[in-house]
């Protein structure tokens, strides 16, 4: 079993005909993901190695029963692409595009509220259920099927920590890169709730970073709602206050949003928190024994 992406995923790609869209879509298909369509306005009737291209998401959904969208379009068009997929009834939208203006994402967030569409991203690596389906840019070579669920604000930390888990023989049920922008789709709480309900997930990992309060709110949720063990890592213990580090949401103001404060909140909720990303796999191994 997996969350978000799996054997029932039918993927359409907005921006399939672009260089990055083509490259990653074909990698996803080679991994076993069922890719049914691409969408590029003005290119209907073409195909990319047998994948049909449509002018609109609505056309693609009608003709192929696509239920998941992956977005590789420029930042100025990305918010509209998300809205188009949601309006066409796509259940899961994975937006890889980075650099989308916060004001655009605020409009997207408002539009999606109360709708059945789940958004991952933007500025994210997507999601992979090892051995089943990959929707995004997470390298499947570092993954292996298993029973550890993983959600992260940082894509790079997904790659590193998953690789170290795999080296120890610890497989993953689903890995989710939620993205580091201040306004985003699925967050820690939604992912943790899904993993808590997933009978094929025994333990959860969350990796966060400085800035915002997503991790503190997740800590409160874990204390009240989560029964499975959780291991965490927060990037930025040495980050200077007042300076943005990496992602658009990674900025510390005063004592709020620091790695230390987030770690303290999580540990108070019973979460094992690593002080170095290389310690995560070790803590997971200990928790599973």
Mean pLDDT in order along the chain per 10 residues (289 residues): 92 97 98 98 97 98 98 97 98 97 96 96 97 97 98 93 98 96 95 97 95 92 98 77 51 63 95 95 95
Domain count, the chain: 2
Residue 99 sits in the same domain as residue 25: yes
Q: Is residue 132 part of a domain?
A: no
Residue 146 sits in the same domain as residue 187: yes
Residue 86 sits in the same domain as residue 161: no
Q: What is the CATH number of the domain that holds 162?
A: 3.40.50.261
Domain that holds residue 74: 10-120
- Strand duo 145-152 + 172-177: pairing: parallel
Q: Which pLDDT tens digit goes with each residue over 21-59?
A: 999 999 999 999 999 999 999 999 999 999 999 999 999
List b or e across 155-189, with b for residues whose CB sees 16 or more CB atoms inside 10 angstroms.
Answer: bebbbbbbebbbeeebbbbbbbbbbbbbbbbbbbb
Residue 112 sits in the same domain as residue 45: yes
Residue 63 sits in the same domain as residue 145: no
Q: Is residue 209 part of a domain?
A: yes
Residue 145 sits in the same domain as residue 283: yes
* Catalytically annotated residue among 109, 163, 184, 247: 247
Q: What is the CATH number of the domain that holds 102?
A: 3.40.50.720
Residue 56 sits in the same domain as residue 155: no
Residue 91 sits in the same domain as residue 192: no
Residue carrying the six token digits 């995004």? 136
Q: Is residue 196 part of a domain?
A: yes
Q: Decide which of 120, 153, 185 is a domain's last residue.
A: 120
247 is catalytic: yes
Residue 112 sits in the same domain as residue 162: no
Q: Which pLDDT tens digit goes with each residue over 95-135?
A: 999 999 999 999 999 999 999 999 999 999 999 999 999 99
């Amino acid at each position: 079993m997996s969350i978000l992406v799996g054997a029932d995923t039918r993927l359409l790609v907005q921006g399939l005909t672009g260089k990055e869209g083509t490259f990653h879509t074909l990698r996803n298909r080679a991994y076993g993901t069922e890719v049914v369509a691409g969408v590029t306005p003005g290119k209907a009737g073409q195909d990319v190695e047998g994948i049909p291209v449509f002018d609109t998401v609505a056309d693609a959904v009608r003709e192929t029963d696509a239920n998941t969208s992956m977005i590789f379009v420029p930042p100025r068009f990305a918010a509209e692409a998300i809205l188009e997929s949601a309006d066409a009834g796509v259940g899961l939208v994975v937006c890889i595009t980075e650099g989308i203006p916060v004001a655009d994402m605020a409009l997207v967030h408002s539009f999606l509220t109360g709708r059945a569409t789940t958004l991952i991203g933007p500025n994210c690596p997507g999601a992979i259920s090892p051995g089943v389906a990959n929707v995004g840019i997470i390298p499947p070579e570092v993954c292996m099927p298993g029973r550890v669920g993983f959600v992260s604000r940082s894509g790079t930390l997904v790659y590193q920590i998953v690789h170290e888990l795999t080296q120890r023989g610890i497989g993953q049920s689903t890995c989710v890169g939620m993205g580091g922008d201040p306004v985003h789709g699925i967050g820690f709480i939604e992912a943790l709730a899904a993993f808590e309900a997933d009978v094929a997930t025994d333990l959860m990992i969350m990796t966060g970073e400085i800035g915002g309060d997503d991790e503190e709110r997740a800590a409160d949720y874990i204390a009240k709602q989560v029964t499975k063990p959780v291991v965490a890592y927060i990037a930025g213990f040495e980050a200077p206050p007042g300076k943005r580090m990496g992602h658009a949401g990674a900025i510390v103001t005063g004592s709020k949003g620091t790695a230390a404060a987030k770690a303290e909140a999580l540990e108070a909720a019973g979460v094992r928190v690593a002080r170095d990303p290389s310690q995560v796999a070790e803590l997971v191994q200990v928790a599973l024994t």
